[in-house]
Structure 1
Amino acid sequence: MRKGLLISFEGLDKVGKSTQVDRLMEHLTEHRKLNPILVREPGSTEVGEKIRDILADPALKGKISPLCEFMLYSASRAQLVTEVISPKLSAGELVIADRYYDSSSAYQGFGRGISLEFINKVNATVTLDLVPDLSILLTVENFVSESRKKPDRFAPNLFDDRLEQEFMDFRKKVQQGFLEIAQKEPARFLVLDANEKREQLAKKIAARVDKLIKEKS
């Protein structure tokens, strides 16, 4: 039986997600005196970290098909849910996920063109139907940042060898995907402009999470 809370962070790579994850962890541990569990996708298990290495392997750049890429992320997610997320939620703990299944829907579905119906079925299976209590989505208007020189970690086989326009078009598709997902589940999502000052974003996120904890307690 699920007793804990699951909060996910979503959005394009390099929009400040990790910074806000760290700020929330600090808020929960230092101000709320809680001990949240932080996980990342892909990774956070021995199996997941090995899959992460495969996805990031320069020798495999351009060789991993979109479907294979999705299945690798799904395999990592299945292990993470079974090994960490599900047991922690059953124990009543608070889990913070730096990406979860919405990333596959946005990146491999809207971005790569894999059937969303298929992705949704796989997501439901590998996550044991564990839906986040809150998903925090960071959005941007400028799709090419100063960190353009580095590949997007959630689609590592796409961005290194493509023209900038293709890079921008892909990111637009992915962000639009995230927004469409959020529009379908407005109660689950907190959508924020990543261009806001970090401190203001952190305050808004902390306030929403505090409210959620109060409602669930």
Structure 2
Amino acid sequence: MPQLKNYREVGVFDLISAPLNPIGAFDAEQFKKDVRALLAEKKDEQFLAVDLTGLDFVYSDAYNAFIQFQQEMEDRRGMFAVLTNNKTIVDGLRKAGLDKNIKVFALEADMMSFSLHAQSPEGESATESAGEPAAVASQNVSAASEPAPSPHLDRRTGQHRRFTKSFNAIAKEEPGSKKKGLDVPFDDEPSSAKTVIIVVLLLLAAVGGTLAFFYI
């Protein structure tokens, strides 16, 4: 006939039922035997807990057994825990200074919640690395969504606008000013032909005047 297990799995913990002596108190010696049998069965055991639910107190020999297996679990890089919501037992663990090294759970649900956070480092690092590309992608999307600056934004308006003088622009005339040079590009200077005609006419007038003087 197969032997019944005196422990059950709760999250990452193997929760051992508290052995009782004939008077209903915690049996520390039987507890040690049960833990040794479990450790012999599971060589890689790391998370071990004892179920003290329903007990109102434990003796000092129980505390000594808890310290012993807490040290063994620590050497295995694991944890030893106690499941109880009894104030007397919790106060006794605190007075003995065991609450600093031994984890105390009030409910099995608390053990399950703790187990969810006790994941392997590989799983946590994979989750973190998987989230990094998404953050980079979101930055790229936000950068791409920004509108390109319009080339017309650099144009100056109002009193800051600058105007250049066109070559063919007609300057405003001022009274008494003279036009010359490039200010009046469409005004032609007197041609040399006109000058010659005027000189010839003056010479003819002079000759005509001289002849008239002698004939009179």
Q: Which has the higher contact order (CA 8 A, sep 6+)?
A: 1
Do Structure 1 and Structure 2 share a fold, with TM-score over 0.5? no
Tell which structure's C-alpha radius of gyration is larger.
2
Q: TM-score, normalised by structure 1?
A: 0.33
